[in-house]
Amino acid sequence: MIQSETPASLIMIFGATGDLAKRKLYPSLYHLFQRKKLAKHFAVIGVARRPWSDEILRNHVKDSVLTSIPDAERIDEFISHFYYQAHDVADSASYIELKNLATKLDQNYSLQGNRVFYLAMAPEFFGTIAEHLKKDGLTDTEGFHRLVIEKPFGHDLESAIELNKQIRNVFSENDVYRIDHYLGKEMVQNIEVIRFANAIFEPLWNNRFISNIQITSSEMLGVEERGGYYEKSGALRDMVQNHLLQMVALLAMEPPIKLNPKEIRSEKVKVLRALRPIKDTEVPNYFVRGQYGPAEIDGKRISGYREELNVNPDSNTDTYVAGKLMIDNFRWAGVPFYIRTGKRMTAKSTKIIIQFKDVPMNLYYNSDEKLAPNLLVIHIQPEEGITLHLNAKNTGQTMETTPVKLSFSTNDIAGYNTPEAYEKLLHDCLRGDATNFTHWDEVALSWQFVDKVSQVWESHKASFPNYEAGSMGPKEADQLLEQDGFFWWPVTN
Ligand code: BG6
């Protein structure tokens, strides 16, 4: 049951000394605390291998909060709720010590046995930790027990099934919160509201009125120090299997009969089931891969992917993916969903562009120009908002048209401070709301879809690098749309 107030709980963060905890989890927890969205009764145990003390962890949490919120109030009170437990993930003795500390905090803080286990660490340990939590008695309390897992959830369908089995031996599906941080983003959550709370869009939201949908999630950074992980992942697994397919599902799903996790998920699953499967020989018609090469930007040399730390100098890993997805159902038959994502592109931007079909007859040819199509742009980041592109009359003694834009931007609203995705997701998990987490069925179907592509790519060496750092990707990605009579709308306006 979803609770309106956050209940008392003990949060155990595995990977407490890591980067994710420092950059995202501690500041997000602090925000919840400051906004009084954490119960008064809460405690956090940071769990990791290093031999830290409570005091070292508390100072670390304080630093991480002050880095993003320099004027954080009541920070000392906040960090007093943190405890540290040095831990060996494979050793029962470690879990028993952890259990003893948890029992003590349960009593001291009146936590009613409610526990959230947040695994913010290397995925190879997810299964082992889940098994130990049960075997060593950490789930033997009266309250709820929820497992929060960061991505990647497996490496392909087979490994994901294996991991899921291990986890489900301990936690029921309802208690597993698989994070896809895109689902915590304000404007990703807004997709559903824009669609289902406005009478003007839903009647047009189908293959009679929409010609194609484009989703771009581009990054300017390279792989930084994550070469080791990225070599085994690539853009397809890192971004498409989860974030991009989740956005496709939200854009394409039918209206749920109710706004609860079960109904929403079941509509999203239907979209993923309707994705047209791709045969091996068809992969090049639907997917394009890329890898960035070196470039000079503003007089500075940018390394190519193959020169990055922990990357094979002959690497076949994709740092860019463009794809054309077809959803074979009544609503979407014939409408391509084009997706693209990559590292070291021109801009950091996530945008969804819905392109409507042309008007049936154009009365307003402006000399030789065609009328611009109507576009609905959903700006996910860095700007947040929506823009509707229309045609209107040019002012003056003329009947020529001119493109105009109706825009709504949350960035323009004073005091509208969008909470960080992690803050919302942590809050949801503490209240038992799994709507914005991925259900196993969604994970399995997404892997099934992308596995086909990765199998073909892994068995054929690509001629990489094929796009320059700082560009919008390889030219084949443009051809993917050109062959259908479309082009990528720029993401920079
Ligand atoms: C993560 C990927 O899931 O998403 C990263 O592992 C990527 O490689 C990141 O950089 C992008 O997230 P955001 O929120 O910056 O778009």
What are the pLDDT digits (tens) for 138-170? Answer: 999 999 999 999 988 999 999 999 999 999 999
Selecting among 31, 243, 379, 427, the annotated active-site residue is 243
Q: Mean pLDDT over residues 52-62, rounded?
A: 98
Strands (E) located in 96-236: 115-119, 145-149, 176-178, 210-218
Greatest alpha-carbon span in the chain = 84
Measured between alpha carbons, how far is 115 from 120 in angstroms, rounded to an integer? 16
Q: Does any ligand 1 atom lie closer than 6 A to the CB of residue 238?
A: yes
With a cut of 70, say whether residue 414 has pLDDT above it.
Answer: no
Distance (angstroms) between ligand 1 centre and the Cα of 366 equals: 42
* Closest by CA position to 84, among listed 17, 35, 154: 17
pLDDT at 410: 81
- DSSP E strands in 188-274: the ranges are 210-218
Distance 214 CA to ligand 1 centre (A): 19
* Mean pLDDT, residues 88-109 taken together: 97
- pLDDT level of residue 413 (50, 70, 90 thresholds): low
pTM: 0.95
Pairing type for strands 210-218 and 349-356 reads: antiparallel
Identify the band that residue 420 occupies on the pLDDT scale cut at 50, 70 and 90. Answer: confident
How confident is the model at residue 365, as a pLDDT?
65
- pLDDT given at position 312: 97
| 488 pLDDT more than 60 | yes
Residue entry with tokens 């993003």 = 68
Q: Is 180 in the pocket of ligand 1 (CB under 6 A)?
A: no
Task: Give the DSSP letter of residue 59.
Answer: H
Overall average pLDDT of the 82-99 stretch: 96
> What distance in Å separates the CA atoms of residue 67 and residue 345, rounded to the nearest whole number?
28
| Residue 445 token pair | 């179907």
Structure tokens at 444: 């399995």
Question: Does residue 192 line the site of ligand 1, with CB under 6 A?
Answer: no
Q: Is residue 126 very low, low, confident or very high in pLDDT (cuts 50, 70, 90)?
A: very high
- What is the arithmetic mean of pLDDT over 364-386? 87
Is 367's pLDDT higher than 60? no
Rounded CA gap, 29 and 425, in Å? 11
Q: What's the 471 CA to ligand 1 centre distance in angstroms?
A: 19
Determine which residue's CA is closest to atom 13 belonging to ligand 1: 182
Alpha helices by DSSP H, 388-474:
421-431, 440-459
Mean pLDDT to the nearest integer, 230-252: 97
Q: What is the mean pLDDT of the chain?
A: 94
Do the beta carbons of residue 257 and residue 474 sit within 8 Å?
no
Of 166-170, 284-288, 417-421, 467-471, least confident by mean pLDDT is: 417-421
CB of residue 219 inside a 6 A radius of ligand 1: yes
Q: Is the pLDDT of residue 416 over 80?
A: no
Residue among 19, 153, 181, 183 whose CB has most ligand 1 atoms within 8 A, to mutate: 181
pLDDT in tens, 194-216: 999 999 999 999 999 999 999 99
pLDDT band at 418 (very low <50, low <70, confident <90, very high): low
Asked whether residue 27 carries a pLDDT value surpassing 80, the answer given is yes
Q: What percent of the chain lies above the pLDDT cut of 70? A: 97
Of 48-62, 235-249, 414-428, 444-458, minimum mean pLDDT range: 414-428
Atom index in ligand 1 nearest the CA of residue 185 equals: 14
* Residue 428 in contact with ligand 1 by CB distance below 6 A: no
The yes-or-no answer on residue 181 being catalytic is: no
Peptide bond into 382 cis (omega under 30): yes
